[in-house]
Amino acid sequence: MTKSPSPGTASVPLDAETAPADVSRSTSLRVLLILSALMSFASVSTDVYLPAMPTIAEDLHAAGGRVELTLSAFLIGFSLGQLIWGPIGDRYGRRPPIVVGLALFILGSAGCALSQDIGQMMGWRVVQAIGACSGPVLARAMVRDLYTREHSARMLSTLILIMGVAPLVGPLMGAQILVVWSWRGIFWTLVLLGGLTLFALRALPETLAPERRSHRPLSGVFGVYLSLARDPKLIGYALSGGFFYAGIYAFIAGTPFAYIDYYGVSPQGYSLLFSVNIVGMMLANYLNSRLVMRLGSERLFRLGTWIVALSGVVLALNARLGWGGLAGLAVPIFFFLSMNGFIVANSVAGALAAFPDRAGAASSLVGAMHYGSGILSAALVGWCSDGSPWAMGWVMGVSGVGCVMTAVFPLYLRRRRT
């Protein structure tokens, strides 16, 4: 049986199907901790500065909702990275691209901390996001390199559970840094986290041996993306998930101003309201895992889209008419975001089911469409902001309706054909 190498060994030449069932316990724990950190960078980078957005707007004189555009800038970089890092990792190994990605993340975070206007911050957020994206993309590939199919599934499930904690910690950490330091301190903290993770990579072995690397030119990968984009079933699932993510990023862009500026919630109170929604997501994910074998992925997916549409419409009405005050926003937002547990996993599973031989490329394409949708929705919240929650409300309402329509309409077409 082939053993995992020590940290100084160049690679781990394990075939995905013949890998040993048990990597040593100490190696597994080390790998789990480092990969968890890598996979959490996107959530932490998105969420940690949310309580500081009103302060950033004031300090950088960013009027008219321009601070929300820093979130769109991050999503531009993150969406591009979804398509770039996977093929690079297949060709050159996992560790070198992660090292480059972390270096870009550190550079982008330092640039944000030193920014003197909102335009500078937007540019550095793109750099930060391209770097942050290398972690989640290549961490999933490293799990598949190291473990057999069954063990990789268990490892990924553990990583996803840990990832659910990152959005809880991000706003809480940002709010506390804002109390004792400043919004610039939030980004210096990200520089520190990036540096610590880069140092920890010394204990993470290369998992893709040279003989197992792809020799296909990187330009050919984009032809695969184009062929996948012609499949109507994949695009239907991807669009539905994309509308849902559009609603999520409208929430992320809009609630700091709706809660803190409009309703006078403190940054610390905002972080707690934000965290409640993450708990709802985790509960729905747990329910989905318990019910999916009994009720089926498609049924739970459609149920989630209907709840999202209803919640989005109620939220839009409350935001426009002021019904229910703060609770009139927080309650429908909770139900909207909680459906992450029913929509995301089931839509991705449905999109990838027909492409077992191109699952990596299909996953990258779906992920890029999901996160890419947030570019427009976060920008719309900023562009249409009038000081009230209305811009966030109507964008989330339209996103919810679009989510259910793109989920139900393909099913209607399939029934017509039969």
Q: What are 209-228's pLDDT values in tens digits?
A: 677 776 667 667 777 778 77
| All domains in the chain, ordered by first residue | 24-210 (1.20.1250.20), 219-418 (1.20.1250.20)
On whether the CB atoms of residues 170 and 25 are closer than 8 A, the answer is: no
Q: Are 168 and 275 in contact (CB under 8 A)?
A: yes
Q: Mean pLDDT over residues 406-410, rounded?
A: 77
Rounded-to-integer distance, Cα 32 and Cα 266, Å: 35
Cα separations in angstroms, 71 against 53, 214, 222, 266, 378:
10, 34, 26, 21, 7
220 vs 246, more confident: 246
Q: Is the pLDDT of residue 27 over 80?
A: no
Here the tokens at position 166 are: 């990152």
Contact 399, 370 (CB under 8 A): no
Distance CA 61, CA 388 (A): 19
Does residue 391 contact residue 385 with C-beta atoms inside 8 Å? Answer: yes
Q: Is the pLDDT of residue 402 over 70?
A: yes
pLDDT of residue 65: 64
Greatest Cα-to-Cα distance within the chain, rounded to the nearest angstrom: 67
Per-residue tokens: 7: 């940290």
The predicted model gives 320-344 an average pLDDT of 90
Q: Give the length of the chain.
A: 418
pLDDT at 280: 86
Tokens of 369: 């469409």
What mean pLDDT comes out for the span 132-141? 78
Q: Is the pLDDT score of 17 beyond 80?
A: no
The residue whose two tokens read 């229910």 is 324
Q: Is the pTM of this model over 0.75?
A: no
